[in-house]
């Protein structure tokens, strides 16, 4: 009996190690998005506003199979596609330009919001070794509305429920293209607030996450 139990434990440990090893040697991507609304009332003016606040983040590890990082230069293209969101640039567009002595790059994107104010809303950072590149994205979607929410945008004002939506993504590094077919899971919680003379207002809180392994596209 002890031998059987010992074998089961050994098999379980072997499975965990093999799974972790596979994940570590695969193209991977993690996505997270939040969006929440709050009610701001101006009694003296007789109305209320629903103000949103949202962002999404992406973290991805791409194996650089067939890519020689010594050939990276200012014109090396980088592309990121997450559903309706896209970012395309060359390494030379990074902050400070391309530095062949560094193995990292940072991109900062700004835009003018509805009030005419220039806002920094998107940051993309890359870091790489001979074997892989790590890609990180942080994007503010509200209240400046310079980038639309990816999944959350479909559920603003919708009744409270669970969320399970397909999420397509692609990371392109030079001539390497990696695709991801994921499922974003989460929830939307919407409540109605009665402000009497000022009317009724719906506010939503949305949170979704997705993660998985990608495949090299031909």
Residue 15 parent element (H or E): helix 2-24
Asked if residue 177 has pLDDT above 90, the reply is yes
Least confident of 5-9, 64-68, 101-105: 5-9
What band does 15 get if pLDDT is binned at 50, 70 and 90? very low
Helix/strand/coil (H, E, C) string of 184-216?
EEEEEEEEEEECHHHCEEEEEEEEEEEEEEEEE
Q: d(Cα 201, Cα 206) in Å, to the nearest integer?
A: 17
Task: Specify the 3-state DSSP secondary structure of 167.
Answer: strand
pTM: 0.85
Task: Specify the 3-state DSSP secondary structure of 155.
Answer: coil
Q: Which residue has the higher pLDDT, 158 or 46?
A: 158
Query: Which pLDDT belongs to residue 24?
Result: 54
Q: What is the pLDDT of residues 70-124, one digit of tens each?
A: 999 999 999 999 999 999 999 999 999 999 999 999 999 999 988 899 999 999 9
106, 94 contact by CB (below 8 A): yes
């Amino acid at each position: 009996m002890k031998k059987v139990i010992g074998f089961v434990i050994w098999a379980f440990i072997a499975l965990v190690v093999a799974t972790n090893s596979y994940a570590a040697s695969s193209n991977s991507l993690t996505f997270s998005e939040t969006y929440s609304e709050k009610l701001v009332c101006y009694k003296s003016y007789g109305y209320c506003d629903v103000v949103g606040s949202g962002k999404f983040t992406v973290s991805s590890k791409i194996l650089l199979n067939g890519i020689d990082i010594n050939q990276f230069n200012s014109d090396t293209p980088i592309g990121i596609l997450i559903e309706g969101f896209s970012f395309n640039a060359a390494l030379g567009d990074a902050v400070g330009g391309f530095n062949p002595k560094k193995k990292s790059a940072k991109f900062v994107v700004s835009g003018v919001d509805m009030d005419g104010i220039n806002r920094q809303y998107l940051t993309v950072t890359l870091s790489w070794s001979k074997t892989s590149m790590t890609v990180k994205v942080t994007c503010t979607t509200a209240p400046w509305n310079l980038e639309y929410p990816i999944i959350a945008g479909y559920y603003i004002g919708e009744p409270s429920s669970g969320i399970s939506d397909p999420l397509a993504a692609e990371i392109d590094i030079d001539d390497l293209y990696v695709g991801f077919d994921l499922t974003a899971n989460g929830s939307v919680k919407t409540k109605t607030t009665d402000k009497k003379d000022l009317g009724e207002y719906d506010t939503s809180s949305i949170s979704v996450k997705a993660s998985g392994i990608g495949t090299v596209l031909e």
